[in-house]
Amino acid sequence: MYSEKVMDHFEHPRNVGEIENASGVGTVGNAKCGDIMRIFLDISDDGIIRDVKFKTFGCGAAVATSSMATELVKGKTVQEAMQVTNRAVMEALDGLPPVKVHCSLLAEEAIHAALWDYAQKKGIVIEGLEKPKSDIHEGEEQEEEEY
């Protein structure tokens, strides 16, 4: 039921780990299953994602999609990374079973949360990027205040 690519990225996930003093870190949780994903981005001064690492405390599909998502954003500009949607990640993995589609959302959300963190730190606006809803670092009160 899983494609060969999903199995490959699950068994040999790329870019697992952490980046110290990362340019941006995003942590998101999946409300459906409680799984958690964290993405670290190292972004150069000219906005290129030089390195990316992830940690996923979640199911196999979440691990595979994190792995593929990190491969897709590596070396890209911040704007290009915005194009890495969960659909793009799933296509790159040759699909996921329908019940596992929600797992792929974590990767997109974690990348967006890490980009948001980067933008906040740099004081810049990334076009099309919205404040992450499920960043578990965010307190509820804070979310209310900012809207």
Query: Which active-site residues does the annotation give?
Result: 33, 103
Tell me which residues touch ligand FES (CB under 6 A).
30, 33, 35, 58-59, 61-62, 103, 106
Rounded CA separation 73/55 (Å) = 16
Q: With contact defined as beta carbons under 8 Å apart, do 111 and 81 qualify?
A: yes
d(CA 45, CA 61): 33
Nearer to ligand FES, 106 or 111 (CB): 106
User: Is the CB of 47 or the CB of 60 nearer to ligand FES?
Assistant: 60
* Least separation in angstroms between CB 32 and ligand FES: 7
- CA torsion sign, 39 to 42 to 44 to 48? negative
